[in-house]
Amino acid sequence: MDNLKHRCIVKLLYGCGLRLHELIFLELTDVDSENMLIRINHSKGSKDRMVMLSPSLLAELRAYVKEFKPRKYLIEGQGGGRYSDKSVQMIVKAAAHRAGIQKPVTPHILRHSFATHLLENGTDIRYIQQLLGHNSIKTTKIYTHITDVSKSQIRSPLDFL
């Protein structure tokens, strides 16, 4: 993706497991670069949570803020104010198309991929539950199903003997 703002949008959705609504309500003050966290205040069910901030994403966000100078919301429209849901959906769809992905890709698919990839790389499902902001572990288990166990990093207990 050549557009810095669009790249930040996609990286926030995938790299933090954000819902579309959470992304467009992120404010500049929600980014805690000192602790490498992003505070999610407008989460589903009116729950607040913290998610990790990747160092590579922080570098891009700093460049984005320097170039676009948002005033309140982290990702703002051209005239300021919140970015639109539809614009984010179109950005994600166009990025998937340019990447040669044939399946439909939505912002929610990026959230699903975030959770699935964490699980496949050995992250405890209870941490994933917290990162996603789920009340019930049942929701997280359904949401983060592993589609191909052979590609995961899961090892047999025999390997530890």
Catalytic residues: 19, 44, 108, 111, 134, 143
Task: Output the CA torsion 27→127→12→143 (10° steps).
Answer: -120
Q: Please state at what angle helix 55-68 crosses helix 4-16, rounded to 10 degrees.
A: 150
Tell me the C-alpha distance between 132 and 115, whole Å. 8
Tell me the C-alpha distance between 2 and 21, whole Å. 24
Q: Nearest 5 degrees, angle CA 24-CA 28-CA 32?
A: 115
With residue 50 as reference, give the H or E element that holds it. strand 49-52
What separation in angstroms does the CA of 22 have from each of 5, 13, 107, 159? 16, 9, 11, 41
For residue 72, how far is the Cα from the chain centroid? 20
